[in-house]
Chains A and B, each alone.
Chain A
Amino acid sequence: MLKRVRSVHTVLAITLCAALVVSCGSDPDEAVNPVAETYILVIDWVLAEPQFAIEVEPDELPVVFVESLGPADIELVVQVAVVGHFIDTADIHFIDSRIEALEEIEGAPVRDGGLLVGLGGVAVDGSADVRGEIYRTPESIVGYHFPIDRTGRKPVMTQPPTQVEPEGLVTDQ
């Protein structure tokens, strides 16, 4: 009986230790979705742009809320890939309604001193402009067209984005 107890304990302990080792050694998801990679290019550009710099404490990550500018919602697999890509550099939150991103009311600044980024739809293949809008406060909304070449293995931004009139993130206030 004692032998049986010991063997069960041993098997259980070895299984859990093995799982613990595997658990510690795994990497976060790599983004492989072409739509996700397109959005990653846009967000990367925003985070690198000095005019959109987010001030954070040394042990904190900049917070970026992402909203779909339509026509369709951003798929879950795309959201997960984007979140996974920025896991060590930014805290990305995809939202359904703007109140999730703003302080208290519509037209207020973004929560946690972060940014709200609106992302337009991405065509299925080929080169395409992707619309992006950046919101920090109601007075500082900027819109861009990002020229993305998606004919290669990975999407690339062919030239710097051009500024356009914002539409999607503009509020009445």
Chain B
Amino acid sequence: MIPADASRSSLHFLRRLTPARFDDLPLLGDTGVTQLVPVQALHSMGETMFAVSLAGSLFFNVSLDAARPRIVLYLAVTMAPFLVLAPLIGPFIDRIRGGHRIVLMAALGGRALFALLLATQLKGLLFYPQAFVIMVLAKMFAVSRNSLIPVLVEDRAHLVVVNARIARMAAAAGAVAAAPAVVVLNSAGPEWVLRLGAVIYGVGALLAFRLPPPHPEQNVSPVVEQLELSGPGVRSATIAMGSLRAAIGFLIFHLGFEMKRTGEPAWMFGVLAVAMSLGGFAGTFVAHRLRRIVGEQLTLTAALATPAAVAIITALRFHRVTAVVLAFAIGLGGSVARRTFDSVVQAEAPHARRGKAFAGLEARLELGWAAGALLAVGVSAPGWAGAAALAVALGGISMARMIQHRRANLIESTATESTLALRLLETAEALAARGDRQQAVVVAMAAADVVVPAGSAVTPELANLRELGRVAATDHDEHADEALRLVHQFVADSYPSPIAEPRAS
């Protein structure tokens, strides 16, 4: 039985790639995940075949100025349906029995088909649209896989580690496929590399069909999903993750164009791809340690700041070597951010993680990648300028996050010495300052309830306040400021020591 053997050997390989401290995790018990591993490995191997085959493609024969309008057009055209479909992907996957499995199969089967078609068009005009369809199908695979893993993992506590293991496995499988891909490229030509890739994708599609159905999960209300995903922690992590996805999309196309423009040999593109993959591989080890030392949000900031710092050096001295280091840094940052994002979502949005809204969120993250790629192709800046733009963008987001951290720490340190009511008011104030006014009202109302002695009668003032709070927190956001002010006054009146007036939000 090929699938069972493949699963066992892949898992053995996966174990060897995993630090010893995770050996106690019952990954073997997650049968769904073990069957996903060979599918992911085959997808990564096919990815490598596709990337290597591009060395013999039209991209290196035609001038970029002539090709740019078509690249922009095809990038937009192939990504546009994805934009429209992003909110529908989750419900679609959820509605069909085994929806994830079908999407994975379709993505792999589609890639196999288009790889075969592309083999005849590597030097033809249809090269660009077919190559972009293959890229879109890769995005579709990623979205479906990322939303499938949580529903296959039996123990939610292991989700982050399982994700890291699968990412490591993917990187290793991709690296293993590089050698045969290069041999076939040199001996038979790029079209045969694609045909070999198509066979690999085809086998992956067959294995995807044998994936088990997800664990039965209790129905989660869409409201709960949305509330969890719109929490400040998840939102902040999503912005960081989305920024890095956009940066990766930007850098792939920016460096690709720059290498072509400066006449770099095709193998240089391979070196950049390997550097990015190595960064991603290293990130799976770094993320866990960093998270334990500095916490999740600071890890995300570091994941943004590291490529930003390398981009500054690259902008000042754009060269082959600095470009390779930048590719490594962005791969590292992206991987660390992904692991940390998984961890944040697992902790703060456990229901949404397994729900339909998450697939939509994943789809939007992939669109960030496409937006970055479009920007790189459309603007086509010189190498140093692109690196500088990346440094400014990622550095700016890192700085903003640092300021936010300091503010949050300040609030936390002053609040620890106060009573629960005061801490709740501080939190409400911070939420209001961040724009989460309805959540702020709910937290402030809790502060008002805390200062009322247990068992005491509800005064008309408190009853009015509760009603105003209910209205402001549900659908009348315009009453939020008034509710916050009154709660603050109420707590101040009920509290023996004076309380400072709330800052205007």
In the complex, what's the smallest C-beta–C-beta distance from B94 to chain A, in angstroms?
21
A171 at the interface (CB under 8 A from B): no
A97 near B261 with CB under 8 A, answer: yes
Mark out the residues of chain A between 59 and 109 whose CB falls within 8 Å of any chain B CB in the assembled complex.
73-77, 79-80, 83-84, 87, 91-97, 99-102
A9 near B61 with CB under 8 A, answer: no
> B-facing mask of A19-51, CB < 8 A → 1, else 0?
110111010110000000000000000000000
Instruction: Choose one: A8, A16, A29, A80; the contact of B62 (CB below 8 Å).
Output: A80
B109 near A12 with CB under 8 A, answer: yes
Instruction: Choose one: A23, A24, A77, A92; the contact of B61 (CB below 8 Å).
Output: A92
Smallest Cβ-Cβ distance to B194: which chain A residue: A23
Smallest Cβ-Cβ distance to B114: which chain A residue: A19
Residues of A within 8 A of B261 (CB): 96-97, 99-100
Smallest Cβ-Cβ distance to A29: which chain B residue: B124
Smallest Cβ-Cβ distance to A9: which chain B residue: B206
> A-facing mask of B212-226, CB < 8 A → 1, else 0?
000000000000000
Residues of A within 8 A of B124 (CB): 28-29, 80, 84
Known contacts A12-B206, A23-B119; A79 and B198 CB within 8 A of each other: no
Task: Report how far A84 CA is from B123 CA in the complex, Å.
Answer: 6
Smallest Cβ-Cβ distance to A104: which chain B residue: B263
- How many A residues, CB 8 Å from partner? 37
A16 near B70 with CB under 8 A, answer: no
A111 at the interface (CB under 8 A from B): yes
Q: Chain B interface mostly helix, strand, loop or mixed?
A: helix
Residues of A within 8 A of B199 (CB): 16, 20
Known contacts A5-B209, A12-B205, A73-B66; A83 and B263 CB within 8 A of each other: no
- How many B residues, CB 8 Å from partner? 34
B63 near A95 with CB under 8 A, answer: yes
A79 near B63 with CB under 8 A, answer: yes
Mark out the residues of chain A between 150 and 170 whose CB falls within 8 Å of any chain B CB in the assembled complex.
none
A80 near B63 with CB under 8 A, answer: no
Instruction: Choose one: A9, A15, A83, A101; the contact of B123 (CB below 8 Å).
Output: A83
Residues of B within 8 A of A101 (CB): 263
A23 near B117 with CB under 8 A, answer: yes
Task: Report how far A23 CA is from B195 CA in the complex, Å.
Answer: 8
In the complex, what's the smallest C-beta–C-beta distance from B50 to chain A, in angstroms?
14
A16 near B66 with CB under 8 A, answer: no
A20 near B195 with CB under 8 A, answer: yes
Known contacts A80-B125, A83-B61; A23 and B120 CB within 8 A of each other: yes
Task: Report how far A16 CA is from B209 CA in the complex, Å.
Answer: 16
Residues of A within 8 A of B205 (CB): 12
B58, B62, B206: most-surrounded residue (chain A CB, <10 A): B62
B64 at the interface (CB under 8 A from A): yes
Instruction: Choose one: B58, B117, B123; the contact of A19 (CB below 8 Å).
Output: B117
- Of all A-B residue pairs in the complex, the 8 with the closest CB atoms, nearest first, are A26-B120, A100-B263, A23-B116, A19-B116, A76-B66, A94-B63, A79-B62, A83-B61
A-B contact pairs, 30 of them (CB 8 A): A9-B209, A12-B206, A15-B109, A16-B109, A16-B112, A19-B116, A19-B117, A19-B198, A20-B198, A20-B199, A23-B195, A24-B195, A28-B120, A29-B123, A73-B63, A75-B66, A76-B62, A77-B125, A80-B58, A80-B62, A80-B123, A83-B58, A83-B62, A87-B123, A91-B61, A95-B263, A99-B261, A99-B262, A99-B263, A100-B260
